[in-house]
Chain A
Amino acid sequence: RKEVEQDPGPFNVPEGATVAFNCTYSNSASQSFFWYRQDCRKEPKLLMSVYSSGNEDGRFTAQLNRASQYISLLIRDSKLSDSATYLCVVNEKTSYDKVIFGPGTSLSVIP
């Protein structure tokens, strides 16, 4: 089993749609969780951190379920500019600060 798994995608949705991405991680000792966004052939950029209580930033909502080792990202009212690959990122504190990226889920928002 991969350490961090994501929906394979791609997701093709119309403008205005609500889309949800899921991510699971294998190590129950994982400590920090993030969603990054990566535009085609560009560097990843932090979209939002994910907290146990859930957090919201405008149209974006992230949730963490530690018991199920599951992270989600919800995008409401999708815009064309949301088209990108969304990366789930997990930090583990092992013998060092280990950073694990999921393979990413591609989103295309269609006019």
Chain B
Amino acid sequence: EAQVTQNPRYLITVTGKKLTVTCSQNMNHEYMSWYRQDPGLGLRQIYYSMNVEVTDKGDVPEGYKVSRKEKRNFPLILESPSPNQTSLYFCASSNQGWTGREQYFGPGTRLTVT
């Protein structure tokens, strides 16, 4: 089954404790992206990757890191989480770029930072 998976689905952590949210897709997509979704603000792009070893900032990259060592995986790293990073996070993938292409989303990771 073609899908994007994220882990963990739910996470409660404390300020400053490094964490990683994993994202994996089995569709051989080149493009992957991370979004956060907050009430009233919609989904906002954090980072995206056009291919292996190619990553770039989206609209809200502060406080986040990513890596793309393999085509299928695109982990999101919070080196020192803060309460304002409490949010619902989605990973997405697409074939050959976003423009005109459908994005496939993972099920989401609900993060709470206390």
Contacts and interface: CB of A to CB of B under 8 A. Distances in A.
Contact of B97 (A97, A102, A104): A97
Interface in A52-93: 87, 91, 93
Given A93-B99, A99-B98, A99-B103, A44 B90 contact: yes
A104 B102 CA distance: 18
Contacts of A1: none
Nearest to A91: B99
B98 A91 contact: yes
A41 B108 contact: yes
B48 A96 contact: yes
Interface in B37-56: 40-45, 48, 50, 56
A20 interface: no
B41 A103 contact: yes
Nearest to A45: B105
Contacts, number: 56
A68 B15 CA distance: 45
Interface in B86-114: 88, 90, 97-100, 102-103, 105-108, 110
A11 interface: no
Q: Which of A31, A34, A43, A46 has the most CB of B within 10 A?
A: A43
Interface of B: 31, 33, 35, 40-45, 48, 50, 56, 58, 88, 90, 97-100, 102-103, 105-108, 110
